[in-house]
Amino acid sequence: MTAKMLLGVGGTGAKVVEAILHCCGAGLGPATLQVGFIDQDKSNGNVSRANQTLTAYMEARQNWRGDGAHHIEGSDLLLTEVSTFKRSLWTPHPDDNSSLESALGDLGGDGKLFDLLFTQEEQRLKLDIGYQARAHVGSAAMTAAIRKESDPFWVDIVNKLVAAGGGDGVDLLLVGSAFGGTGAAGFPTVARLLRRELDKKGIKKGARISGVLMLPYFGFTPPKRGETVARADELLPQTKAALRYYHDLFEREHVFDDAYLVGWNSKFELGYHNPGKGGQINPALLPELIAAVGACGFFAGEPPKQPPKERVATRVLVSARKEEHRFGWGDLPPVRDEKPNEVYAQLGRQIRFAAAWKHWQPILNRDAGVFSGSYRKRAWFKGYGLDGLDTTDAAFAGAMASMDRYVDQFAEWALTIQLLSRQSGGSAEMAFDLWDMNGFLSQPSFRKDENSPLTVPVARTLSEAAYASAFDRAVGSRAGDTPLTTAADLMRALNARPRSSRNSGLGGIVEAMHSNSAVAAGLDGGN
C-alpha cells in the first residue's frame, strides 16, 4: 500500500493540515496518513491548535477503531489511520536566541557574501517567533538546519520516504503559504531537499511529491510601527514574487508532481494582529477547506503511470467558485472525479453526526439529570447492548471523552468557517451555502467582535429541541434530491433492530448514529 505523508509548513500550513484531519475524520482521507508540522515558531498558536486536533483525532481513533472495548466497524467515521513521525513538530532552530547568523555559524571567507545578501538586522533577527515574513532568511536558515540535521524528525521523514519510495510507493504532500515567513521559506526548501534525497537513492518512480500552496486569503490589522513582522500590505507583492519563483522552479526542476494553488479574491479580514507565538492563532477559514479537499484528492489519486522522463512539468490545479457572492457544495473540488457528491455526503453527514453526538453523549455517558433509569428498558438501550456495559471502567470513560474532544474540535472548526465566510464576498456579504451550524452555538445571539480573535462558543451539549433544530437545519438537501432525514428519523433508526453485529461496546450505537446522519441514501459517501 502506498504510504501517505503530510507535512504542514508554517502556521497556514498547520491550519490546512487541521482541515485535512477533519476531512479524514469524515471519511474523505486515505486509509493511512503520517502527519508532521514544521514551524520555526514552536509555540505558534495555529500549530498548537492543529496539533491539538491531531492529538484529539488520534486518541479518538485509537479508542473507537482500535482493538478496545468500544469498536466501530463498517463506518467512515475516523476512517483514516493517522500517525505522526517520530515527533509531530520539527523546529529547525529550537534555541530561543538563535538567529540566521548563529544558524550559519562561522562562514569564513563567505562572510562577505553573507553581508551582501542579508542586512545586519536580518542576520541578527531572533528566530524564536519564526521568520517574520522574511522568507529569504527562513530559506537560508532552514537549509542550514536540514544540512546538518540529525534531528530524529528529519531523519525519520527521510528514512520513511526513501523506504516507501523504494517499496510500495509514497505520496508526500507539503502544505504551506506563499506569503509570510516559515511557510514561504520552508515550502519549496523542504520539497527540494526531500526530492534530492530521493534522487540520491535513485528513487524516481514510486514517489510523488506535491504541494498545496496558499496564496494570500486573509488580512489583518497593521502591526505597530517598528515591529519586524508580516504586514498585510506586503503579502501581495511577496506572493507575486513567490509565484514568479515557483513558475521558474516548475519550469526548471522536477520538485512537485502536482501543485494546488488556493487563494481568495476578497480577503477575510481578521481585524487584529498577533506577530507570533501562542497569540498567533487564526480562525479556520474556507480556503483551507478547499485546500484540504484538494489534498484528499491528491491522496486518493493514482500514482503517475508515465515514466518520470516523459512526464510534463508540475501540473497546476486551480479551484474557483461559480459565483462571487455565493459558495456552495458545487464549488468544492471533488476528491474523486467519479464521485461528484462525495464531499457533500461525507462532510454533511459528519456535521449532522456532531449534532447527534452533542445530544446523545450525556445520555450514553449516563450523566445525572439527563439519563433516566427508565431508559434501560428502551429498545435502543437493549438493542445496542448498553445494559451490559461497564460505565465505570477506563475504556468507557476514555472512549466517551476522546469522541467528545474530537467532535468539539470538528464543530468549532466547521462553525468558525461558517461564521467568517459571510464577510468574505467583497462588497456584498457572501452567501455560505455549505452548512448552517448556528444551532451549535451556546449563545444564539453570538456576534464576532470585529477587532479580536474569534472564539466560537460551541455548546457542550444540546437539549433535544436544540439538537433536533441543529440536526435538521445543519445541511440542506441539494436541488432535485429528496428531503433529508430528520433527527426523528435518526431516533426511529436507533430504535429499530441493529444492522451490524461487528461493532462492540458503544460502537454499535455510535456507528448507527453516524450512518443514520447521512444526508441522502445512494450518494457517494461510504466505502
Partner 1 sequence: MAVAAPVAAFVAAIVLMWVYLGTWDGNPDIISAERIAQLQKGAGGDAADLDATLTLDATRVATHFVTWANCVLAAALALALAWNFTALAGERKVAGPASQTRSLGLWVALLVAYLGATGLLWWLLIVPHDLGALIDVPRHLWGGAPAFIAGLAVYWAGTAWGASRVMKPSVPFASFLV
C-alpha cell, 6? 503530510
Q: Write down the least CB distance from residue 493 to partner 1, Å.
A: 10
Q: Fill in the amino acid letter for 7.
A: L
- Select from 31, 379, 397, 521 the one that contacts partner 1 (CB under 8 A): 379
Exposure on the CB side of residue 148, measured as CA atoms within 13 A: 8
Q: How many CB atoms lie within 10 A of CB 455?
A: 13
Q: Write down the least CB distance from residue 490 to partner 1, Å.
A: 7
Q: How many CB atoms lie within 10 A of CB 232?
A: 18
Q: Within its chain, how far is the Cα of 321 from the centroid?
A: 21
Smaller CB distance to partner 1: residue 452 or 486?
486
Contact letters for partner 1, residues 421-460 (x by CB under 8 A): ----------------------------------------
CB neighbour class for 526 (10 Å; exposed up to 12, middle 13-18, buried from 19): middle
DSSP bridge pairs for 71: 504
Smaller CB distance to partner 1: residue 91 or 485?
485
Scanning 39-47, 174-182, 357-365, 511-519 for contacts with partner 1 by CB under 8 A, the matching segment is 357-365
The vertex-244 CA angle with 122 and 320, nearest 5°, equals: 115
- Distance, in Å, from the CA atom of 101 to the CA atom of 118, rounded to the nearest integer, reads 10
- Select from 85, 327, 380, 435 the one that contacts partner 1 (CB under 8 A): 380
Q: Write down the least CB distance from residue 495 to partner 1, Å.
A: 4
- Select from 79, 212, 468, 520 the one that contacts partner 1 (CB under 8 A): 468
Contact letters for partner 1, residues 255-274 (x by CB under 8 A): --------------------
**3-class state of residue 79 by DSSP:** coil
Q: Write down the least CB distance from residue 33 to partner 1, Å.
A: 35
Q: 486 to 525, contacts with partner 1 by CB under 8 A?
A: 486-488, 490-492, 495-496
Q: Write down the least CB distance from residue 367 to partner 1, Å.
A: 13
Q: Write down the least CB distance from residue 375 to partner 1, Å.
A: 5
Number of amino acids touching partner 1 (CB under 8 A): 24
Smaller CB distance to partner 1: residue 9 or 468?
468
Residue/partner pairs of 20-23 with CB below 8 Å, 24 or more apart: 20/175, 20/291, 20/292, 20/295, 20/296, 21/50, 21/53, 21/54, 21/57, 21/82, 22/53, 22/292, 22/350, 22/409, 22/410, 22/413, 22/414, 23/289, 23/292, 23/293, 23/295, 23/296, 23/346, 23/347
Contacts to partner 1 by CB under 8 A: 359-360, 363, 372, 374-375, 377-380, 382, 464-465, 467-468, 471, 486-488, 490-492, 495-496
